[in-house]
Amino acid sequence: MNEHDSERISGLLESDGMVNVDSVASADVVVINTCCIRENADDKFYGTLSQLKNWKTEKDDRQILVAGCLAQKDRDSIRQRAPYVDVVIGTHNVHRAAELLEQTRYGRPVTEILEEAVLDDHTMFPSALPMRREVSYNAWVTIQIGCDNTCAYCIVPAVRGKEISRPSAEILTEVESLVRSGVTQISLIGQNVNSYGRDLAMSARAAGDNTVKPKPQFAELLRSVGAIPGISRVRFVSPHPKDMREDTLLAMAETPNVVEHLHYPMQSGSDKVLALMHRGYTAERYLSRLAQARQMISDLAVTTDVIVGFPGETEEDFLQTVEVCAQACFDSAFSFIFSPRPGTTAAQMTDQFIDPAVAVERYERLKIVLDHSAVIKHRERIGRIEEVVVEGMSKKNPELTTGRTRQNKILHFSSPQSLRVGTYAKVEVTDAARFHLSGRLIEVGEAPKHKLRLAVSSAN
Ligand code: SF4
């Protein structure tokens, strides 16, 4: 969501006449779009801000804008610690970025934070504004903002507000226009995509339309987006296991361009900890829905998020998490050590905080299991022919091209010819590691419409 907000701020500033530059030294305006989900992001942000103080004072007309959820949460502290920042805006004010920079060009700094999105203001949806996409073939499309859940560790509902779904007609119009501009991969984003449309259905009924069933409409949306000609891949993040419905799995299985990848955030394998987290499901329910997903969608890759050391987590709870992770055998997992986010329920559970050394030790033990599963899953793919979309040269080895498979795996391969970013190709998987696959080019598909070219890589 933050990356998408960044694209939107870039787009707004470009349509206001600004040009993107490669270095801070040559910039007139620096925008820092923040995220407060994890603690080290705060630390990095304040470090970056203090480094910018000299840059700012070297020239009179330089400006700094701070946006994002950390800005929303820490507005006073930013003003206090960095009074030289010109504009501080929250998550619902992104559309005002260019206007407020202009307003403060020769005037006083401004802080503008809207606590809640304005319901009838469609500019609140990031996709409804000009955008500078960092990846030409992929577009993030916001289908929903905010979250109505109350996960005990999460700051999102406080900084992003209530859940509001975007009307599907508007989403489909945007997707059609993206396809016309050369986009072939659509990534639908929301905090809890499974509940997409529930609020729209409720509003329709409240307005007297009793033909609408008061249920989520995500499965229908997935099918409608998938039916738009010209789209090769449809992805989505993130579903909530408590709201995962069979109709969504069926839509994934029956819509050919919806990819075989499900990010399915587990968080813990202990029912006690899941209840403390307010997650709304048990480990058994999580595993049975996961088994159903794998049974309904062939060749499904599953990734997850796990929090280690949540307040009150005992060794037994932790071992249950290890056990469930081993059973689930994830393709990859983002595991985190719990860090209290001020303003959340979990941050107040100080009497149950886990000794940091114990949490680190548990994290390392869990990582062994998660890494082992990833290697198993990746090795299963050796010998297969995968469809990849080219992302560019390998960052570590410019002789290799990097692509992404439908299962969202990185696949490095040698190619005798230069391949443009966004090209689809068939690659045979010849080797596998924890975080990536390796392979050789078999066949090049249709080239993309845009113009960026990779340097020629040498043949093997
Ligand atoms: S579902 Fe839970 S973790 Fe996800 S954004 Fe909402 S409150 Fe946060």
For residues 61-73, average pLDDT = 87
pLDDT of 113: 59
Q: Is residue 339 part of a domain?
A: yes
Pick from 374, 369, 365, 362: which is nearest to 433 by CA? 374
Q: Indicate the residue among 230, 259, 288 that finishes a domain.
A: 259
Tracing tokens 């910039």 back to the chain, one arrives at 27
CATH code, domain carrying 189: 3.30.750.210
pLDDT tens sequence across 288-337: 999 999 999 999 999 999 999 999 999 999 999 999 999 999 999 999 99
Please report the atom of ligand 1 found closest to the CA of residue 150: 7
Q: Quote the CA–CA distance of 203 and 20 in Å, as a whole number.
A: 41
Strands 138-142 and 185-189: parallel
Give, for ligand 1, the residue of 36, 192, 244 to mutate: max count of ligand atoms closer than 8 Å to Cβ: 192
For residues 264-272, average pLDDT = 98
Whether the full predicted model's pTM is greater than 0.85, yes or no, is no
pLDDT tens sequence across 421-439: 999 999 999 999 999 999 9
Domain tally for the chain? Answer: 4
Q: Is residue 118 part of a domain?
A: no
Q: Is residue 373 part of a domain?
A: yes
User: 36 pLDDT exceeds 60?
Assistant: yes
Pick from 53, 51, 52, 88: which is nearest to 73 by CA? 88
394, 402 contact by CB (below 8 A) = yes
Residue 459 CA, ligand 1 centroid: distance in Å: 46
pLDDT tens sequence across 164-207: 999 999 999 999 999 998 999 999 999 999 999 988 888 888 88
Residue 362 CA, ligand 1 centroid: distance in Å: 24
Which helix (DSSP H) or strand (DSSP E) does residue 199 occupy? helix 198-206
pLDDT of 449: 67
**Alpha carbon separation from 432 to 133, 409, 439, 458 (Å, rounded):** 31, 11, 9, 21
Please report the atom of ligand 1 found closest to the CA of residue 278: 2
Q: Is residue 237 part of a domain?
A: yes
- The answer on 322 and 233 residing in a single domain is no
Q: Is residue 454 part of a domain?
A: no
Q: Quote the CA–CA distance of 38 and 145 in Å, as a whole number.
A: 20
- The answer on 96 and 6 residing in a single domain is yes
68, 50 contact by CB (below 8 A) = no
Q: To the nearest 10°, the Cα dihedral for 262, 251, 287, 406?
A: -30
Residue 404 CA, ligand 1 centroid: distance in Å: 27
- Residue 209 is part of which domain span? 135-259
Q: Is residue 151 part of a domain?
A: yes
Give, for ligand 1, the residue of 35, 91, 156 to mutate: max count of ligand atoms closer than 8 Å to Cβ: 156
Q: Indicate the residue among 56, 81, 112 that finishes a domain.
A: 112
Q: Quote the CA–CA distance of 242 and 236 in Å, as a whole number.
A: 17
- The answer on 334 and 234 residing in a single domain is no
Ligand 1 — pocket residues by CB below 6 A? 147, 149, 151, 154, 156-157, 191-192, 240
Closest residue to atom 8 of ligand 1, CA basis: 154
Residue 164 CA, ligand 1 centroid: distance in Å: 14
CATH code, domain carrying 52: 3.40.50.12160
Q: Is residue 363 part of a domain?
A: yes
- The answer on 225 and 283 residing in a single domain is no
The set of residues, in sequence order, having a beta carbon less than 8 Å from that of 447 and lying 6+ positions away, is 420, 422, 423
Pick from 228, 204, 230, 225: which is nearest to 215 by CA? 204
Q: In this structure, how many other beta carbons lie within 10 angstroms of the beta carbon of residue 92?
A: 23
Highest-pLDDT range among 53-57, 95-99, 103-107: 53-57
Q: Is residue 31 part of a domain?
A: yes
Please report the atom of ligand 1 found closest to the CA of residue 157: 7
Residue 148 CA, ligand 1 centroid: distance in Å: 8
Residue 139 CA, ligand 1 centroid: distance in Å: 23
The set of residues, in sequence order, having a beta carbon less than 8 Å from that of 371 and lying 6+ positions away, is 434
Closest residue to atom 4 of ligand 1, CA basis: 191
- The answer on 419 and 371 residing in a single domain is no
Which helix (DSSP H) or strand (DSSP E) does residue 173 occupy? helix 168-180
Which helix (DSSP H) or strand (DSSP E) does residue 356 occupy? helix 356-379
Q: In this structure, how many other beta carbons lie within 10 angstroms of the beta carbon of residue 140?
A: 24
**Residue 54 tokens, joined:** 């000299």
Residue 238 CA, ligand 1 centroid: distance in Å: 9
Mean pLDDT of the chain: 88
Give, for ligand 1, the residue of 147, 160, 237, 268 to mutate: max count of ligand atoms closer than 8 Å to Cβ: 147
